[in-house]
Structure 1
Amino acid sequence: MFDFHSIMPIFLSLFAGLSTVIGAFIVFFSKSGSKKLITFALSFSAGVMITISFTDLFPTAEETLSKNFGKFDGVLLALLFLIIGTLIAFLIDHFIPSEESKQLIDKNNTNLYRVGFVTMIALMLHNFPEGIATYVSGYQSTTLGISIALAIALHNIPEGVSIAMPIYYSTRSKSKAFKYTFLSGIAEPVGAILAFLFLKPYINDFILSIVFGIVAGIMLYISFEELIPESRVYGFNLLYIFSLILGICIIPISHIFL
């Protein structure tokens, strides 16, 4: 039960989740450089997620489903699960309130603390299924798990900023900002541990193909709806396009060595 193949994905999700805390340290110790780092992390992560979706997740789902149901039905089912993943991400965005914390800071909003708290809850709900996806992917393939964990870790950094910034500026307490950021990030390995305890016996090629199709849809939605638009907000257009292309290229390059 406690073999490397089963435990390694938990550590990958722990790495991805706790990278959220890096965002808190950026708020504490960085001024001008943080915007460039956020631009790079968001854009690079988008490139990685888009590439993983189209070169690993969706093709794997399509291939497995086609073997079980035939080529035509397999492709349609893979697309269906991708669309379901996109809808899941859309519904999370639609029903969980979120606001641009930097705009609220500029307006000296008195509800800044509440915004930071709500952001933490929203990202906890977002990170929990990411932990499950990281575990399932890493259980199927360590290489794929590492790629997904890296992409999630990079976009968790600015998520940490979005929590720590309103909490820190409203309370001037580094400990509170760190605690709330940590709570958001730890939801990721919690999801992975629950997947290890309860889902592992049911993981097979068919279940993996469903999960991969759904995760691909979620990643594509996050990339095009959140990461890419947000990475362009700060005006570092050359850094944005360079980071995006680097993220797209890094996954095929990693296939050579992993």
Structure 2
Amino acid sequence: MFEDAALRALILSFFAGMSTLLGALTIFFANKKSEKLVTVSLGFAGGVMLSVSFTDLLPNATQLLSEYYNEKLGIVLSVVFLLIGVLFAAMLDRFVPHEPEPDGDGKKHENLFRVGFVSTLAIGLHNFPEGIATFMAGYEDLTLGVSIALAITMHNIPEGISVAMPIYFATGSKLKAFKYTFLSGIAEPIGALLAFLVLKPFINSLTLGMIFGIISGIMLYIAIEELLPSSKQYGYSKEALMAIFSGIILMPLTHII
């Protein structure tokens, strides 16, 4: 059933997706009682999502849609699909209701679990089309597939941190932190498997551009609505700001590979 080229591409996407678990290893060095570390983790996660949206997903969406249509229409459509993603995330937000404004540590941590949950959803959605892209590249050209898988691996490590840390601080459970990080990462090989079994005839610049544009909007919404406000609720505003900028700066540097 699986020819050699397809099997190699699936293996590449699996290891790229599971690299999110490397980010989750940071929980072993974390003190779950440290509110300053919670602040830094949430700010960093917000910065990562902002950066991924503006330096990765949206430019890719614009490029792919421009290839399918033309440059001007590609730019307009990428913004349209970004807005669709924002609206979609806002609708989802209604089904995962906000906790009341926190009065004590318990409420803060309940809200943190929610933040971790929506981060898992956002990064899983992000990883799904990445899995498709990794599979298609690895299937056509093994060298190109390895290069893309390495770049995605570097991306996925900080994304794993952004999922694992809120879950760990909310629950105190390393197992749950790893479980949610695994769920966000496994979306990548699932995307690759679906690309092989079902989606190959339908994958083109238009469909991938639409997906990347929508997911960029979802990530922007989660960063601005969830992660950035949550990073400031513990009172360490300067630390939160520094962490946000760190996340923004780090993600473009991962493209060096």
Residues 1:198 and 2:202 are matched in the alignment: no
Give per-residue Cα distances to partners, 1:148-182, cap 9 Å, x unaligned.
413421211333135514xxxxxxxxxxx455444
Between the aligned partners of 2:239 and 2:71, the Cα distance in structure 1 is 41
CA contact 2:120–2:183 (8 Å) conserved in 1:
yes
Deviation at 1:47, TM superposition (A): 2.1
What does residue 145 of structure 1 align with?
Answer: 152
Change (3 A) 1:92 1:80: same
What does residue 170 of structure 1 align with?
Answer: none
What does residue 2 of structure 1 align with?
Answer: 7
Change (3 A) 1:205 1:194: same
The residue type equivalent to 2:58 in the other structure is F
Between the aligned partners of 2:75 and 2:113, the Cα distance in structure 1 is 41
Give per-residue Cα distances to partners, 1:90-144, cap 9 Å, x unaligned.
222211235379757547xxxx8xx999898777655643442442465563365
CA contact 1:124–1:184 (8 Å) conserved in 2:
yes
What is the percent sequence identity of the aligned residues? 27
Change (3 A) 1:106 1:209: closer
What does residue 226 of structure 1 align with?
Answer: 226
Deviation at 1:226, TM superposition (A): 1.2
Change (3 A) 1:251 1:133: same
The secondary structure found in structure 1 opposite 2:7 is: coil
CA contact 1:49–1:223 (8 Å) conserved in 2:
yes
Between the aligned partners of 1:122 and 1:243, the Cα distance in structure 2 is 19
Deviation at 1:213, TM superposition (A): 0.9
CA contact 1:64–1:206 (8 Å) conserved in 2:
yes
Change (3 A) 1:100 1:180: farther
The residue type equivalent to 1:83 in the other structure is L
What does residue 31 of structure 2 align with?
Answer: 30
The residue type equivalent to 2:11 in the other structure is I
Give per-residue Cα distances to partners, 1:50-104, cap 9 Å, x unaligned.
2222222212211221222223322221112111221222222211235379757
The residue type equivalent to 2:65 in the other structure is L
The residue type equivalent to 2:82 in the other structure is L
Change (3 A) 1:187 1:250: closer
CA contact 1:116–1:162 (8 Å) conserved in 2:
yes
Between the aligned partners of 1:180 and 1:39, the Cα distance in structure 2 is 20
Q: What TM-score does the superposition give when structure 1 sets the normalisation length?
A: 0.72
Between the aligned partners of 1:138 and 1:68, the Cα distance in structure 2 is 20
Change (3 A) 1:197 1:103: farther
CA contact 1:46–1:227 (8 Å) conserved in 2:
yes
What does residue 66 of structure 2 align with?
Answer: 66
CA contact 1:21–1:181 (8 Å) conserved in 2:
no
Between the aligned partners of 1:240 and 1:9, the Cα distance in structure 2 is 33
Unaligned runs of 5+ in 1: 166-176
Between the aligned partners of 1:99 and 1:160, the Cα distance in structure 2 is 16
CA contact 1:131–1:192 (8 Å) conserved in 2:
yes
Give per-residue Cα distances to partners, 1:8-35, cap 9 Å, x unaligned.
3322332325755755x57xx7254x32
CA contact 1:81–1:210 (8 Å) conserved in 2:
yes
The secondary structure found in structure 2 opposite 1:235 is: coil
Between the aligned partners of 1:161 and 1:100, the Cα distance in structure 2 is 21
The secondary structure found in structure 1 opposite 2:233 is: coil
Q: What TM-score does the superposition give when structure 2 sets the normalisation length?
A: 0.73
The residue type equivalent to 1:185 in the other structure is T
What does residue 184 of structure 2 align with?
Answer: 188
Q: How many residues align?
A: 235
